[in-house]
């Protein structure tokens, strides 16, 4: 084990540990021999409220906090809830880091988002371009709320010597993702759309936007590995991209998901609906250099695993 962390005596609190990414992080930590992992359940702790944050830290007796919790969704959810997404994420993050500092937590791992980047960022996105413009409008409130964790992290290191890091994962996907049509991201939304169409024998599906924007994606298990590697080995406030080197257009993605899921009908594009950010693709060299992370799961393989998992879950209902 690197640095000051050791598996036997370090207590780790993971906010959002019951969520999509959180379950993978918790499982991997326990598999590596971290036995004291505390997950504050949403029913017991409202992490937007300072008193609940204080109670969670006290109950966990944490040495390390990994802050995964977020109020998040796709383009539709961001358009409908800009105020909530801004306030809840800002208050959660700012108050949690402040209480971590007050309680002398040894390390704070803040999970940001690719939405922190400006709308028009040179591709591939490099950490040095993070402040070169305003984020894409539909997810700017969420992205800026998360970005404030980076400002806080750097300010706290400068003034208090507080050890916090800031990671920016690419769009995640994989088994266990959110398939709710009102709040899901693009991959689960497209998988659900295709499988629903097959069930109903529909001859076409309608997809938002023009299909021209591009995205990169990261398999959730790879992201969990990156977070743990950074927790163990990275101790700077410079932001770090967490992702893969892939880039695919939404049109190509839709065609691929249709093929892998078995949908053979027509794909209709609703160009009146928003596209979101024009391109998203990451430079991941800093993560490799600083803590040895490189994505392992190929995109087609990850999609197949995700589709198979969702098909199995649907069949059980």
pLDDT digits (tens, 9 = 90+) for 65-96: 999 999 877 777 778 889 999 999 999 999 99
Tens-place pLDDT, residues 147-184: 999 999 999 999 999 999 999 999 999 999 999 877 78
Distance CA 138, CA 81 (A): 10
Q: For residue 213, what are the contacts with CB-CB under 8 A and spacing of at least 6? A: 249, 250, 275, 276, 277, 278, 279, 280
Domain-embedded: residue 181: no
Its domain, for residue 236, covers 12-174+217-245+282-296
Domain-embedded: residue 206: no
Tens-place pLDDT, residues 282-307: 999 999 999 999 999 999 999 999 99
Domain-embedded: residue 84: yes
Q: Which helix (H) or strand (E) holds 148?
A: helix 140-160
Domain-embedded: residue 192: no
Query: Regarding beta strands 248-249 and 217-219, do their DSSP bridges make them parallel or antiparallel, or are they unpaired?
Result: unpaired
Q: For residue 301, what are the contacts with CB-CB under 8 A and spacing of at least 6? A: none
Domain-embedded: residue 266: no
Q: Which helix (H) or strand (E) holds 27?
A: helix 20-31
Our count of domains for the chain comes to 1
Q: What is the CATH number of the domain that holds 94?
A: 3.40.50.720
Burial group, residue 94, by CB count within 10 angstroms (0-12, 13-18, 19+)? middle
Catalytic annotation, residues: 142
Domain-embedded: residue 144: yes
pLDDT at position 1:
38
């Amino acid at each position: 084990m690197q640095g000051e962390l050791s598996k036997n005596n370090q207590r780790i609190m993971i906010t959002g540990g019951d969520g999509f990414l959180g379950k993978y992080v918790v499982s991997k930590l326990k598999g590596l021999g971290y036995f004291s992992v505390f997950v504050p359940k949403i029913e017991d702790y409202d992490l937007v409220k300072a008193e609940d944050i204080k109670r969670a830290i006290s109950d966990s007796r944490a040495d390390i906090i990994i802050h995964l919790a977020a109020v998040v969704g796709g383009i539709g959810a961001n358009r409908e809830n800009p105020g909530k997404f801004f306030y809840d994420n800002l208050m959660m993050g700012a108050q949690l880091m402040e209480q971590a500092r007050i309680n002398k937590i040894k390390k704070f791992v803040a999970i940001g988002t690719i939405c922190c980047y400006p709308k028009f960022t040179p591709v591939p996105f490099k950490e040095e371009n993070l402040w070169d413009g305003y984020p894409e409008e539909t997810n700017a409130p969420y992205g800026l709320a998360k970005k404030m964790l980076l400002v806080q992290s750097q300010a706290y290191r400068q003034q208090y010597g507080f050890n916090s890091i800031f990671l920016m994962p690419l769009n995640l996907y994989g088994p266990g993702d959110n398939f709710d049509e009102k709040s899901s991201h693009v991959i689960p939304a497209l998988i659900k759309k295709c499988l629903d169409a097959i069930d109903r024998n529909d001859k076409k599906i309608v997809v938002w936007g023009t299909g021209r924007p591009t995205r990169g994606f990261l398999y959730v298990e790879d992201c969990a590995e990156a977070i743990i590697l950074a927790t163990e080995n990275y101790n700077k406030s410079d932001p770090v991209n967490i992702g893969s080197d892939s880039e695919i257009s939404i049109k190509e993605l839709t065609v691929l998901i249709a093929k892998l899921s078995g949908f053979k009908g027509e794909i209709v594009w609703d160009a009146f609906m928003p596209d979101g950010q024009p391109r998203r693709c990451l430079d991941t060299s800093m993560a490799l250099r600083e803590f040895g992370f490189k994505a392992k799961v190929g995109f087609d393989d990850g999609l197949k695993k995700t589709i198979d998992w969702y098909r199995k879950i649907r069949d059980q209902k």
